[in-house]
Structure 1
Amino acid sequence: RMVGNDAALSARLLQVANSPLYRGRVEIDSIQQAVTRLGLKMVRSLVVSLAMKQIFQASSDALDRQFRKVWDESLQVAAISRVLAGNVSELENEQALLGGLIHNIGALPILTKIDERYGFSADADMIDELIRELAPDIGERILRHWNFAESLANIPTACQDPGYDPGPFPTYADIVLVARLQNLAASQGIQDDWSAIPAFAKVGVESEVIIVDVEGPAEEIAEVRTMLEG
């Protein structure tokens, strides 16, 4: 009922439910059918996605560009995470997607505070440095305050630590860690030696492979990205 009262969210649910990733034999036109087809975890991801997109309205072009940069990275990491999780039987695709969406959520309050304090005079390099230093801890605190499960709440800090290795079984933080590094390699050409990073072996990705360049996964990632962008 709450979903049905939000026109923007209702429209997104119907759009995604009828997208190539979820489309069934018959096009659906009711919110109840959309929720049934997508499942509650995907609905949750879409709610978070819409909220994050609407939460920040910058007063300057410089800050708006920074937000778009953070948002674009979050979408791409989420798309890669969902595809990676498809090869890990212990993990769920939609939870991995949500993990990717929220991995840098700590950047949003930082951008909001900078906007309030500096406005048009905000410096891009200063913003990047603040996000790099502060966003992981802030993000984890936000998710814990919102009572996210431990498997998701630790993602903002864990995905920044190449040595993260809580045990022999893959976690959502492992997925997002690999997805974040894959995105850096593909978008910025930043690819260090990944062979010693435990998450790659647990997720089942060869350390020298950039999956966004591999036919098959690349198309899947593009499909998920298109779905998230609406």
Structure 2
Amino acid sequence: MSAEEALFHILEAQLENDELVLPSLPEVAIQVRDAVDDPDSTLAQIVDVVSKDPALSLRLIRIANTAHYARAANVSTLNAALHRIGMRAIKNIAIAMALEQLFVCKNDIVRIYIERAWHQAVDVAAASTAVFANYREDHRSSTVSADTLTLMGLIHNIGVLPILAEAQRHDDVFANPTFLDRAIARFGARIGGAIMKKWGFGEEFAQLVRDWRDMSVQPTAISYLDFVRVGAIYAKVSKDEKLVENILQLTAEKGIFQEGESPFEHEMFMTRFREIKTAFE
């Protein structure tokens, strides 16, 4: 048995026995989530929690001044930003902003993979949300939420993290592209579902992480899964031309964009894409 196959067996056993070391949600994200979910929390208390992380505070102010939220003059204080964003959206945005803390690594080869995974996740989130913004112009009653969609785009490939962490621990054997590509393709989706369970996210998040590549999974109604799949095409997450073709065909049939047109050619797509992406840079 090769060293790579040995690690595949180890990962398989750890998954089956619920023993795989999974990443923890960043502390600031947990604190914000707990504060927002507490029915007795006030906006002032949530401001106090967020203000403990200056980088997160600045990013939330930037988000509040984007076209999606801006209704008047720009805001410059955290209190005004959170008031504009709203209690429901703060949790998802704060979690999304905090996720970057998980995408760090010391090994040179693994770092290339983990940095690429983060930048790709940002592109998926930005493209998904930009396509949705165009769709929403004619579908105001859509139940899809832009901030939840952004978060889903960022976590769609979260299952790579434990694999890359394992490669870093055994970098003399496993920190090579051949192993990493095979391991991510083989285990990424299942591990991602396990992470969603650990973090206490709902089944909709877990299903998206597990099934976004599986075109046999087709919700009848337009869902987050559809937009993330389209965003993944823009970010070139998959080189499978058949998968790309199927996603474009099925999402066009659902009316997310016109058949025969590209969802990325709308005149506002690139403006919105860049605005969302800038918030994570």
Output the CA distance in 2 between the equivalents of 1:83 and 1:144. 28
Contact 2:128 2:149 in 1 (8 A): yes
**CA distance in structure 2 between the partners assigned to 1:203 and 1:129 by the alignment:** 35
Report the number of matched residues: 227
> What amino acid is aligned across from residue 117 of structure 2 in structure 1?
V
2:206 maps to 1:153 = yes
Which residue of structure 1 lines up, in the alignment, with residue 58 of structure 2? Answer: 11
1:202 Cα offset (Å): 2.5
Structure 1 residues 98-117: Cα deviation after superposition (integer angstroms, max 9, x where no partner): 11111011111221221112
Q: Helix, strand or coil: the match of 1:10? A: helix
Q: Residue 93 of structure 2 aligns with which residue?
A: 46
Contact 2:93 2:147 in 1 (8 A): no
> Residues 120 and 60 (structure 1 numbering): CA distance in 2 closer, same or farther, change over 3 Å?
farther
Residue among 112, 127, 132 paired with 2:165: 112
Aligned-residue CA RMSD (Å): 2.7
- Deviation, 1:24, is 4.2
Q: 1:9 to 1:213 in 2, by over 3 A?
A: same
TM-score by length of 1: 0.84
- Residue in structure 2 matched with residue 222 of structure 1 by the alignment: 274
Which one is further off, 41-50 or 195-204?
A: 195-204
User: CA–CA distance in 2 between the matches of 1:41 and 1:126?
Assistant: 41
Q: What is residue 194 of structure 1 aligned with on the other side?
A: 246
Cα contact 2:104–2:115 (8 A) shared by 1: no
CA distance in 2, matches of 1:220, 1:12: 16
Deviation at 1:213, TM superposition (A): 4.2
Unaligned runs of 5+ in 2: 1-47, 137-141
**2:118 corresponds to which residue?**
71
Matched residue of 2:235: which SS?
A: helix
Amino acid at match of 2:278: T
Q: Which amino acid aligns with 2:205?
A: L
Identical aligned residues as a percent: 25
Which whole-Å CA distance do the structure 2 matches of 1:91 and 1:48 have between them?
Answer: 18
CA distance in 2, matches of 1:85, 1:194: 19
Gap change, CA 1:208 and 1:109, over 3 Å in 2: farther
After alignment, is 192-201 or 35-44 more displaced?
A: 192-201
Secondary structure, aligned partner of 1:222: helix
Match of 2:226 in 1: 174
For residue 206 of structure 1, report the CA deviation from its aligned partner: 4.3
Between 201-210 and 146-155, report the one with greater CA deviation: 201-210
Structure 1 residues 119 and 74, CA gap change in structure 2 (3 angstroms): farther
| Maintained 8 Å contact 2:160/2:184 | yes
Q: Is the 8 A contact 2:105 2:111 kept in 1?
A: yes
If you compute each CA radius of gyration, which structure gives the higher value, 1 or 2? Answer: 2
